[in-house]
Structure 1
């Protein structure tokens, strides 16, 4: 279920965001940050669920491994929610509003818990594997847009990460305004991605 809330802050006002369009639309653009009102798709509390990829129920987590700078780390991964904005907010977020026609911003909130492996000594990269899809089609990423969103952390602020600790990283994508479902994907180096589906209604 989606709830209306003023929560999405795409970035600081001076930030410049790159709109990396998908293969079907192509091209690059730049965007300035705004402070839009959003709707929220929210999951229930997490329950660990190790698997090898595929669909994960809303509110359940999955276990994956990722090669970080100090070595291989095992993470528990939970897509908590997706904050979905409006077409007007999408138009404000890009330099060329025509390229955002019919699209809305969607911010995926994903929590990663360090479950095994070495403590990180530098900024984690595990959140880079998060993508947002809508009705089976990958959205267009707004690079650097989500670090300042409410409830999100900037990976560059995480200087060390030990076993048992959790951090929430976000990714912002533009997706079709009329999509029935918004999906959060996270993928290891090989195999199928984990997929959490949130109804966009």
Structure 2
């Protein structure tokens, strides 16, 4: 590793594109928050998703982390419409069909309490008389809008989606729009991260 490389963790707010170039005035971009030259996102978060985004100017590491063979874990807190039953959670754990693809096994559990998160701006739209619930979902893949498509496939549409960790790196304490450099230990873990095979599902 060299001191010329930068490794950044960013708490992406709702409505921000995971890129520095602006394609439309409707959405903000990373440029509105991060004034660091030549760093690029590792993967992406959709404009309507929130949470942890990694950025670096280390192209080799960026390519490695984007390689599906490494399958590093990504954990999300997902607010869904209605309360998923055991059958729906079991389907999410074992894999569901989305478009022409079957998702890998995932760790999925129903959270007993609402996680502590900053308020979303704008807030989600609640439907009267329809309860909501929070799931914790850990995936080892990142297909386009995968979490939303997975919960929709089992009948529980996603209302809010927040990525809280990538591998060992946690969102801990960063507020929406804030960023920091990774610590030397976090960087070392990223470089030493092994390939991940199938993960063991965790049932509640």
Q: TM-score, normalised by structure 1?
A: 0.30
- Give the structure-2-normalised TM-score: 0.29
Q: Is the radius of gyration larger for structure 1 or structure 2?
A: 2
Normalized per residue, which structure has more strand?
A: 1
Identify, as 1 or 2, the structure richer in helix: 2
Of structures 1 and 2, the one scoring higher in RCO (CA 8 A, sep 6+) is: 2
